[in-house]
Amino acid sequence: MRAREVVFCDGVRTPFGKSGPKGIYAETRADDLIVRVIRELLRRNPNLPKERVGEVAIAATTQIGDQGLTIGRAAAVLSGLPKSVPGYSIDRMCAGAMTAVTTVAGSVALGSVDVAVAGGVEHMGRHPMGEGVDPNPRFISEGLVDESALFMGMTAENLHDRFPEITKERADAYAAASQAKVAAAYEAGKIQPDLVPMAIRTKELGWSWATRDEPPRPGTTVETLASLKTPFRPHGRVTAGNSSGINDGATGCIIAAEEVAAELGLSAKMRLVDFSFAGVEPEVMGIGPVPATEKLLARRSLTVDDIGLFEINEAFAVQVLAFLDHFKIDAADPRVNPWGGAIAIGHPLASSGVRLMTQLAAEFAEHPEVRYGLTTMCIGMGMGGSVLWENTAWEGAK
């Protein structure tokens, strides 16, 4: 039996919010965020019979409370899919949604599933990262990892140590550019089409709608960023301004066999070519995208020059710059995060992977001259993940 081609048909997400009592989703349940996303996918794709969805895979890093109860299955039932549609949960920290996509893609390629919904949700206001976690003391007592490996901000400082040429000034400049690119993308109406408005409620204002990402700070300057505190180390280089925030939000997408998408009249925005995950020293987890991408490109006999668009999750500016420096790509290269990234938009952990994919799919539509694009991200506890996509609108195929 031959493996089937797998395509990304459509992706949507809620606007991302700031976590905490003043954030837009402070009184909104996590499972309601992902249910809203699934319902919107079904609404936007009326040609997809609900019973043809063969699997729902939803990621969450903290799988307790309203992110527990096997949220993939719970969200499937709550969203109105037939109870015959199974579902499951995934946890690979920041790469949860990315792993949800690659996992269901394997089932689609093998033919056990024709169409799947994959995504992620993270309500870091309700469930702070690491809530309820009890790390085995052997990690530290036996020297398996340095204590800093358990704190993501400290791993970013470690990455600055390893690559001293990546200065705080460079990190701040990258962060300011990300804010500017997101502001420009919003002004041009590029981000809004894939946002699903979310009903929200606050004690002060009552009911309203969330229609835009809450975290962006338009007008951010390098001078403003230079004055911010370095909470992870005295006189450090990592700040709230050159890092992604603590955020809430959900993402989802439809993954299908290319032949099934054609049969049902679903769009096929991009084709999954291959993917790779790699482990690195947990103390410098931000370097993870480098070996993951190297493995992927080598297996496909490609180089970074073959990649026309990069969507790199901006957990920390230093992590993106380490990736770019390794592959000798300029930080201002127009292929890199052309509409900005997580430093401005936010990074609700397990949901971010599908945000990268949805954004890449929209960028592909604008660039038929581009054949390949890459979505890549670092992952807590020392990993990296990369997914290679082919533009189905690539003019070279015509």
DSSP letters spanning 268-308 = --EEEEEEEEEE--GGGGGGTHHHHHHHHHHHTT--GGGEE
275: β partners: 387
Q: Residue 233 is which amino acid?
A: R
Q: Do the Cβ atoms of 59 and 97 come closer than 8 Å?
A: yes
For residue 398, the model assigns a pLDDT of 67
Q: Do the Cβ atoms of 200 and 210 come closer than 8 Å?
A: yes
CA neighbor of 283 nearest in space, from 168, 189, 390, 154: 154
For residue 133, the model assigns a pLDDT of 86
For residue 130, the model assigns a pLDDT of 81
Tens of pLDDT along 252-292?
999 999 999 999 999 999 999 999 999 999 999 999 999 99
Residue 142, helix vs strand vs coil: coil
For residue 1, the model assigns a pLDDT of 66
Q: Do the Cβ atoms of 274 and 388 come closer than 8 Å?
A: yes
In the chain, what's the furthest Cα-to-Cα distance? Answer: 60
For residue 99, the model assigns a pLDDT of 98
Tens of pLDDT along 323-360?
999 999 999 999 999 999 999 999 999 999 999 999 99
The residues carrying an active-site annotation are: 94, 347, 378
Residues of the chain with pLDDT under 50: none
257: β partners: 6
Q: Do the Cβ atoms of 254 and 266 come closer than 8 Å?
A: yes
Encoding tokens for residue 275? 């993917």
